[in-house]
Structure 1
Amino acid sequence: MEGSLFYWILWSFWVYITFVMDKSNQHRTAVAACILVVIILSNTHFMVEGFEYYASGLFLLILSYIILSKKKLGSLLYALICSFILTISYVTFNLFVIYDPIWVIFEKEWMMGICFSCLAIFLQTSLKERILIFVSGTMQGEILYAYYLRKFEISYPIGTVAYLDVSALTILLLVSWSILENAGPFFQNHFHFFEKGKQKSS
């Protein structure tokens, strides 16, 4: 069912951030509030210039632009290039689904989530930057894809719950990968501790 991934993942994030995350984290309240706004706006939509927009997608896009605008010029240019790469990749993926759907070997949402999370990981090093270029890039891709389909008189709503499913899944994969990356130094220190203990005992 469309939207199930989105609601389950975002509500899980919200519960963790609200009740489990360290309360001294300065970003905790802002992230929890943003998640609630995205959930609340997920079914709100309106028409602009003949295109149907869903409010959650636009909220995420505007928020990503606000965060990007605070970057220094060099970092901003690189982030915009990364975002553009994801935009083109998103449109290309969706066009392949239309013209040659046979290559979609398992669920489209999972294929997109894996592909875009891998791409974001290759392009950026921090979780925040990865989520930022993913959100801005794919929402730009949604708009560009809708404009392309309009040439064939096909109506495509922008930022629907289907898009939010892919976004939530991709963010979950990015968070999971970030946890694995940060777990590496922990295990390395842990094993070094045991190695030192063995050396002392010998």
Structure 2
Amino acid sequence: MEGMYFYFFFWSLWLVATFFMKKTAARTKLAVFALVMISSASLTAEVGRIHMALSFFVLFFFSCYTAVEQKPCRPLLMALSASGLAFAYAAFRLLALFDPVWIWLDGRWMLAWWLALVSCLFHRRLAARLLCLALGSCQGEAVYAAAIHRMAPDYVLGSFSFLDATAIGASCLLAWETIRFFALQLEEKRPVGGTRQP
């Protein structure tokens, strides 16, 4: 069922932001963003000849707004890395379209792992990786839609397939960061050089 991973991820994000995060402006923005993404996922708009899901526009606008708010020179770095990830996204989608024999698992999962890997290569911080993933995926979806426009003029920009892959990629990054955090905690508690802890 398309959209299942998307809804699960954003409902979980809303629950964590609403009930577990401290009451800050960032928490409010995150909760509102999750609710707007959920409510706009099934709505589409037609801009000229382009069919676009409103959630795609919300994700792209929120990601651009967050990128611009970063420290000086960071937006340029984010723009360059997101462009690289966009080409990686478009290349994978075109490969799956013209040579599907390489897609031996669910295409959404393989695409999500690919995007998560590329974003990890570009950035070290989790927030920057998630932002690069969102921006690059949106740009890559636009490049892919432009490439297949003649073959599929009714293609919906930001469909549930795109949203699922983006949500799975973000979940992979969060899971990896959680594993890394607990591994560091265990490493700090481990005795050094055979000595016993008091």
Query: TM-score normalized by structure 1?
Result: 0.89
Residue correspondence of structure 1 range 27-42 to structure 2 within 5 A: 27-42=26-41
- How far apart, in 2, do the equivalents of 1:33 and 1:127 lie? 21
1:184 Cα shift? 3.0
Identity %: 25
Is the Cα–Cα contact under 8 Å of residues 61 and 139 in structure 1 kept in the other structure?
Answer: yes
Structure 1 residues not aligned, in runs of 5+: none
State how far apart, in whole Å, the 1-side matches of 2:18 and 2:115 are: 28
1:97 aligns to what? 96
CA deviation string 1:16-65 (max 9, x = no partner): 3322x242565322212111110001011110120001111111101111
Distance 2:68 2:140 in 1: 20
Instruction: Sort the Cα spacing of 1:22 and 1:143 in 2 relative to 1 into closer, same or farther, 3 A.
Output: closer
Segment drifting more, 143-152 vs 86-95: 143-152
Q: Would the alpha carbon gap of residues 56 and 199 (structure 1) be closer, same or farther in structure 2, given more than 3 Å must change? A: closer
CA drift of 1:176 comes to 0.8
Quote the residue 1:2 is aligned against: 2
Code of the residue aligned with 2:136 in structure 1: it is G
2:78/2:132 contact within 8 Å kept: yes
Q: Which moved more, 1:77-86 or 1:100-109?
A: 77-86
CA deviation string 1:148-183 (max 9, x = no partner): 112335431101111111111111111111112222
| Runs of 4 or more above 3 Å deviation | 151-154
Amino acid at match of 2:44: H
- What is aligned with 1:123? 122
Question: Is contact 1:42–1:54 with CA below 8 Å preserved after alignment?
Answer: yes
Indicate the structure with greater helix content: 1
- Aligned position for 1:11: 11
- Aligned 1:118-157 pairs, distance under 5 A: 118-152=117-151, 154-157=153-156
Greater mean alpha carbon deviation, residues 179-188 or residues 75-84: 179-188
Alignment of 1:37-76 (within 5 A): 37-76=36-75
Q: Distance in 1 between matches of 2:181 and 2:27?
A: 19
SS in 2 for 1:67: helix
Measure how far apart 1:138 and its partner are.
0.9
Corresponding residue of 1:165: 164
Distance 2:108 2:48 in 1: 28
Query: Structure 2 length normalisation: TM-score?
Result: 0.91
CA distance in structure 1 between the partners assigned to 2:69 and 2:25 by the alignment = 18
Letter aligned with residue 16 of structure 1: V
Q: Which amino acid in structure 2 is aligned with residue 185 of structure 1?
A: L
Distance change >3 Å, CA 153–CA 103, structure 1 → 2? closer
Q: Counterpart of 1:175?
A: 174
CA contact (8 A) 1:86 1:134 kept: yes
Shift of 1:73: 4.6
Structure of higher CA gyration radius: 1
Matches of 2:112 and 2:157, distance apart in 1: 18
In structure 2, give the amino acid aligned to 1:9: F
Q: Partners of 2:101 and 2:115 in 1: how far apart?
A: 20
Backbone CA RMSD of aligned residues: 2.0
